[in-house]
Amino acid sequence: LTILGIESSCDDTGAALVRATDGAAPEILANIVASQTELHAAFGGVVPEIAARAHAEKLDLVIEQALGQARLTLRDLDAIAVTAGPGLIGGVLSGVMTAKGLCAATGLPLVGVNHLAGHALTPRLTDGLEFPYLILLVSGGHCQFLRVDGPESFSRLGGTIDDAPGEAFDKCAKLLGLPQPGGPAVETEARQGDPARFAFPRPLLDRPGCDLSFSGLKTALMRARDAVVAEKGGLTRQDRADLCAGFQAAIADVLAEKARRALSQCPGITAFAVAGGVAANTVLRQRLTAVAGDLPFVAPPLALCTDNAAMIAWAGLERLRLGARDDMTLSARPRWPLDTAAAPLIGSGK
């Protein structure tokens, strides 16, 4: 089976081709991502209208590029998978309309995919994980623990009640005058820092369960920074490094402890996986590897951890194998909790 995946739910326009042959590892034939980062840079965040227009302009192009790179035409495909939510509605709509147009023209089956299912199923594409496994989605917009029992069967064990860790890293960088995206910048600074110099809270550790909170860390950072500035009139390189190290340690501590709890709620799983841009963080990876203990710890390559269309093609393929199909009534959804994906994904087809 060869499937085209289309992704346009946030600020990356993606098209990818994935091929799966029974008994062999799946192959990514092409994985094109056109980033809109520069378009939104001046606004300090993703502007939905600009994103939607850029997706509409870029979709045809990235699809053509993906087909060109794989040396395939639409005739070689078995289906088209598209992110149908959750995400910025204008972008999701652009993708869904493009996919419907291509399916109408070619007669190919259409498969709607939940973006989060794409992230959550990626370790099966990259590492061939068997169900069930636990995954931590940790990105700029998401933070949740999911037990994955099948291509359409997810249980959410807990997640953030406010900010996502990536967002927290980005705000930390902003408060300290470091470049965006904040995660890599904070991690680099933290290498020279003392994580014990400033006392950061460990939010929600005193409460049972796997929920997390990160907005308080930002306030703590602001206070610590202001105290240093009030005392010395400014921040030295070392102050900044110590603040970053303390901030990063707090995030890693909280995620590690909640991961330990999530794992204890999932007897019989085959592995512990991560996805999302924050999974690039070395300190966090080390902590999570330790928590996993004897269980395999799986972190897909970064390009497949962040938003991409290969994961959408793959998740579409998994749905297709279950016999799932959508039709022209497939709708774009701004919200779409993954947990209900255990029920029919979309109110159509199947």
307 sits near Fe ion (criterion: CB under 5 A): yes
Which part of the chain contacts Fe ion (CB under 5 A), choosing from 99-107, 225-233, 306-314, 336-344?
306-314
273 sits near ligand ATP (criterion: CB under 6 A): no
Which part of the chain contacts ligand ATP (CB under 6 A), choosing from 90-98, 122-130, 167-175, 323-331?
167-175
Which part of the chain contacts Fe ion (CB under 5 A), choosing from 63-71, 155-163, 205-213, 302-310?
302-310
Q: What angle, rounded to 10 degrees, do the helices at 282-292 and 237-264 form? A: 30
10 sits near ligand ATP (criterion: CB under 6 A): yes
Task: Please indicate if the annotation marks 139 as binding a ligand.
Answer: yes
Least Å from the CB of residue 328 to ligand ATP: 27
| Nearest by Cα to 136 from 128, 145, 127 | 145
Nearby residues of 39 by Cβ (< 8 Å), 6 or more positions away: 11, 47, 50, 51, 54
| Nearest by Cα to 19 from 11, 29, 10 | 29
Query: For residues 187 and 307, which CB has a smaller minimum distance to Fe ion in the complex?
Result: 307
135 sits near ligand ATP (criterion: CB under 6 A): no
Task: Please indicate if the annotation marks 119 as binding a ligand.
Answer: yes
Which part of the chain contacts ligand ATP (CB under 6 A), choosing from 20-28, 133-141, 144-152, 208-216?
133-141
Task: Please indicate if the annotation marks 170 as binding a ligand.
Answer: yes
Q: CA-to-CA distance for 129 and 149, rounded, in angstroms?
A: 11
Task: Please indicate if the annotation marks 307 as binding a ligand.
Answer: yes
Tokens read off for 222: 């602001």
What does DSSP assign to residue 197?
A: S
Least Å from the CB of residue 179 to Fe ion: 22
Q: CA-to-CA distance for 123 and 305, rounded, in angstroms?
A: 9
Task: Please indicate if the annotation marks 138 as binding a ligand.
Answer: yes
Query: For residues 101 and 334, which CB has a smaller minimum distance to ligand ATP in the complex?
Result: 334
95 sits near ligand ATP (criterion: CB under 6 A): no
Q: Which does residue 332 bind out of ligand ATP, Fe ion, none, counting CB within 5 to 8 angstroms by kind?
A: none
**348, 44 contact by CB (below 8 A):** no
Query: For residues 334 and 344, which CB has a smaller minimum distance to ligand ATP in the complex?
Result: 334
The single residue among 2, 31, 139, 308 that binds ligand ATP, judged by CB under 6 A, is 139
Query: Distance between the two ends of the chain, CA-based, in angstroms?
Result: 18
**151, 315 contact by CB (below 8 A):** yes
Nearby residues of 10 by Cβ (< 8 Å), 6 or more positions away: 46, 51, 87, 88, 91, 141, 307
In the chain, alpha helices (H): 37-41, 48-70, 89-106, 115-127, 165-175, 182-190, 215-232, 237-264, 282-292, 302-305, 310-321
Q: Which does residue 151 bind out of ligand ATP, Fe ion, none, counting CB within 5 to 8 angstroms by kind?
A: none
In the annotated binding site for substrate, the residues are 137-141, 170, 183, 187, 281
In the annotated binding site, the residues are 115, 119, 137-141, 170, 183, 187, 281, 307
